[in-house]
Amino acid sequence: MRFLVTIIFFFIVSVGFSQSSALANNYFDQGEYEKAKAIYQKIYEKNPRDVRNITQLVATYQELQEYQAAEKILLEELKGNVIYPNLWIDLGYNYQLQDKPEKAQENYQKGIVMVKKTTAYAYAVGRSFQQYNLLDEAIVTYETALKDKSNASFSVELARIYGEKGELDKMFESYLKLIEEEPKYLYVIKRNLGEFVNEDKDNEANQILRKTLLLKNQQTPDVMYNSLLSWLFTQQKEYQKAFVQERAIYVRSPQKNMRPMFELANLAEEENQLDAAREIFDYLIENEEILSRKVEAQAELLQLEIDHSTPKDYKKIDEKFQQVFTEYTQATPTEIFPIELQYAEFLAFQQRDQASALAKLDELLNSRINRHEEAQAKLVKADILVLQEKFNQALIYYSQIQKLLQNSVIAQEATFKIAKTSFYKGDFDWAKTQLKVLKTATSKLIANDALQLHLLINDNMQGIDSTHTALKQFAKADLFAYQNKDTEALDILDKIIAENKGLPIEDDALFSKSKILLEQNDFEAAIESLNHILMITPPSIYAARTYFLLAKTYEEELNDPEKAKSNYEKIIFEHEDSIYYNEARKKYRQLRGDAIN
C-alpha cells in the first residue's frame, strides 16, 4: 500500500511539474520573461537536475540580460562529472552575448573535447551549436564524431548544416557518401534533397546534383546513382531522361523490377508528355516477362490512345485491340480480362456500339472469372444500361455489386452510381439516402463526389417549386453530358440559367456548362461562364472551384501565367479552408519562380 501511495505521489508531482513547465514555456513564447523566470526558478528549486528546465531558465536569464545568474547555474551544473556536455555550449554562448569571444571559444572547445572522448554526445552538442547558429562549430562537432565511426544520424545532420550554409557540393557529397555506406537511407535522403531541388533544371542545386551524380556514375557505376538521377529528372519533369536511367537500372539489376517504369509512364501521361509515356509503355510490353504485367502495360497504352483520341482514330484503336487479342491467345481469362473489359467500354462509349459491348460483357460474365472481376464487369454493364436510359436494370446490377463485395471501394462506387442513377430518374430523396451512406467512404474521391451531389440536390429542393422542375431539367442535362450529347446538354443548361436568375441552381448550371465547354476546347466561352459564377450574389459555393478551374485553364491551355497566378491568389487569400488551397499555393509559388520543397 505504501508503495502504491509513493507511486501516486510521484505521478502527481510529475504532472504538476509538467503543467508548470508548459505555462512557463507559454510565457516565454509570448515574451513575458519575468513571469516565465518565476516559474522556471520554482521548478529549479524543487528539481535542480532537470536539464530541460535549466536550459529554459538560462535562456530566460539571457533574454533579460541577467548573464551572471545564467553563468552561476551553468557553472554549478558543470561541476564534477558532466553528463550534459551541451551545457558547455550554453555557457560559451552566455559569454558570447557579453562580448567575451575568447571565453566563449574556450567553452565551445570543452564541448567538442567531450565529443572526442564520447561520440554519443555529438548530437546534443551539435544541436546546441545549431540552435545558436554556430554552424562552423556544429560541423567540427559532427566531423569529430565521424572520424572514429560512421553514424547515419550524424552524417545527415552534417549534410543539413552544409545545406544551411549554402555549401551544396559538400552537402551532396555527404549525402552520397552516406547512401554508399547505408543504401537503406536512399528514401530519407531523397526527401531531404527535395528541400533544395525543384522543377527548374537551371536551379543551382539541380545542376550541381546532376553533375555530381553523372561524374560519380562514370567513375564508379552503381544503380544507386541511376536511381537518384531518375529521381532528379522526374522532379524536373524530364520523363524521357528519367526513363533512360530506369532502363539502366532494369538492365543492371538482378531483381528486374519494372514497377517504377509503370509509375514513370503514368506521370508522363499526367503531364501530357505522351511521346515519353508511349515509349515507356512500349518498352514494358516488349520486356516484361510476367504476362499479367505485360497485359497491364498493354491496357495502359491502349487507354492512353483512347483518352487522347477523336472519332477518326477509333478504327485504328479497334485494330490495335484485335491485334492484342490475337497476340495473347494463350493468356488465361483472368490475365486478358482487363483488356476485354476495356474493349467493352471502348465499344460502348467511343464507338457507341452498346449492343456489341453488352454481348462482350455477357461473354465475360459467363466465363471463369473471380468475384472482383465479376463486380467490375457488372459495373461497366450497369454504366452502359444507364447510357441507354435503362435505369431499373442498371440499378439491379449496381445492387448486386454491393452484395458481392460488401464495404469494398468498388461497392462504394456502385452505391454512388445508384445515387446518380436515381438522380437521373428524378428520384431525389432516394439519391440523398444513398449519398448519406458515402460520407465516410474509404475513397476520398467518392466521398467528395457524394458530398457535392448531396449539396446540389439538397440546395435545390428547398425552394417553393415542389415539383423541382429546374432540378429535373438539370438532371436531364447531366445525363445528356454523360451520353456525350453536348449540344442537348448545353441547350438545357442555357434554359436553366435564363429562367432561374438568382436561384441556387443558377451556379450549378453555369459550372456544368463551363466543364462541357472546356472539354470542347471552347476556352473563351468557358471562361465567360466561369466569370459569370463569380459575379453571383451571394457568393457561389463553386467560387473556389471556379478560381481553380480558371487558373488551370489560363496556365495549361492559354499559356497566360499572370492570369493563372491571379486566380490561384484568390484561393490563397479568400478560400484558405478550400480543398484547393494547398495545390493553389504550390502552383502559385511555381509560377512566381519560388523553390518548391
Can you spell out the DSSP letters for 314-343? HHHHHHHHHHHHHHTTTS-HHHHHHHHHHH
| Domain contains 521 | yes
pLDDT the model gives residue 17: 47
- CATH code: domain of residue 516: 1.25.40.10
Q: Any idea of the CA torsion for 412, 413, 416, 420, to the nearest 10 degrees?
A: -160
Q: Is 182 in contact with 166 (CB distance < 8 Å)? A: no
pLDDT over threshold 60, residue 82: yes
Span 201-254, pLDDT tens digits = 999 999 999 999 999 999 999 999 999 999 999 999 999 999 999 999 999 988
Instruction: Please choose, from the candidates 452, 460, 454, the residue with its C-alpha nearest in 3D space to the C-alpha of residue 505.
Output: 460
Mean pLDDT over 44-63 rounds to 88
Largest CA distance in the chain: 91
The domain tally of the chain equals 1
Residue 254 has a pLDDT of: 86
Q: Does some domain include residue 446? A: no
| pTM of the complete model beyond 0.85 | no
Provide the pLDDT for residue 9: 35
- The answer to whether position 573 is within a domain reads yes
Smallest Cα–Cα separation from 586: which of 284, 212, 198? 198
Report yes or no on 552 lying in a domain: yes
The pLDDT tens digits for 295-340 are 999 999 999 999 999 899 999 999 999 999 999 988 888 889 999 9
Q: Which three cell numbers stand for residue 108?
A: 565551445
Question: Looking at residue 594, what is its pLDDT?
Answer: 65
| pLDDT given for residue 464 in this prediction | 62
Q: Which residue has the higher pLDDT, 52 or 10?
A: 52
Instruction: Lowest mean pLDDT of 7-21, 225-239, 305-319, 559-573, name the range.
Output: 7-21
C-alpha–C-alpha distance, residues 32 and 167, integer Å: 38
Q: What is the pLDDT of residue 187?
A: 87
* CB-based contacts of 196-200 (< 8 A; 24+ apart in sequence): 196/163, 196/168, 196/171, 196/595, 197/232, 197/235, 198/235, 198/595, 198/596, 199/235, 199/236, 199/237, 199/590, 199/596, 200/236, 200/593, 200/595
pLDDT at site 465: 64
Residues of the chain above pLDDT 70, percent: 95
Residue 489 within a domain: yes
Question: Which of 406, 413, 483, 421 lies closest to 448 in space, CA to CA?
Answer: 413
d(CA 354, CA 385) in angstroms, rounded, equals 9
Residue 557: inside a domain: yes
Rounded CA-CA distance 127/145 in Å is: 13
In a domain, 535, yes or no: yes
What are 272-281's pLDDT values in tens digits? 899 999 999 9
Cell of 188: 530519407
What is the percentage of the chain residues whose pLDDT exceeds 90? 70
Total residues belonging to the chain: 597
Confidence of residue 463 (pLDDT cuts 50, 70, 90): low
For residue 327, tell me if it sits in a domain: no
Residue 252, Cβ density class (10 Å: 0-12 exposed, 13-18 middle, ≥19 buried): exposed
Kindly report, residue by residue over 485-522, the tens digit of the pLDDT. 999 999 999 999 999 998 989 999 999 999 999 999 99
Examine residue 538 and say whether the peptide bond preceding it is cis (omega within 30 degrees of 0): yes
Q: In angstroms, how far is the first alpha carbon of the chain from the final one?
A: 57
Angle at 61 between CA 55 and CA 62, to 5 degrees: 90
Give CA–CA dist 525/264, Å, rounded: 35
Q: Note the Cα 171 to chain centre separation in Å.
A: 26
HEC letters along 50-64: CHHHHHHHHHHHHHC
Share of the chain residues as helix, strand and coil, in percent rounded to the nearest 5: 80, 0, 20
- Rounded Cα–Cα distance for residues 447 and 167 (Å): 47
| pLDDT at residue 92 tops 80 | yes
Confidence of residue 20 (pLDDT cuts 50, 70, 90): confident
pLDDT of 265 reads 95
Domain coverage including residue 555: 474-592
pLDDT digits (tens, 9 = 90+) for 34-51: 998 899 899 989 888 788
Amino acid 139 reads: I
Q: Which of helix, strand or coil describes residue 263?
A: helix
Rounded to whole angstroms, what are the CA distances from 152 to 123, 156, 176? Answer: 11, 6, 12
Sequence-ordered list of residues with C-beta below 8 angstroms from that of 473, at least 6 positions apart, any chain? 492, 495, 496
What does pLDDT average to over the chain?
90
Cβ count near 164 (within 10 Å) = 13
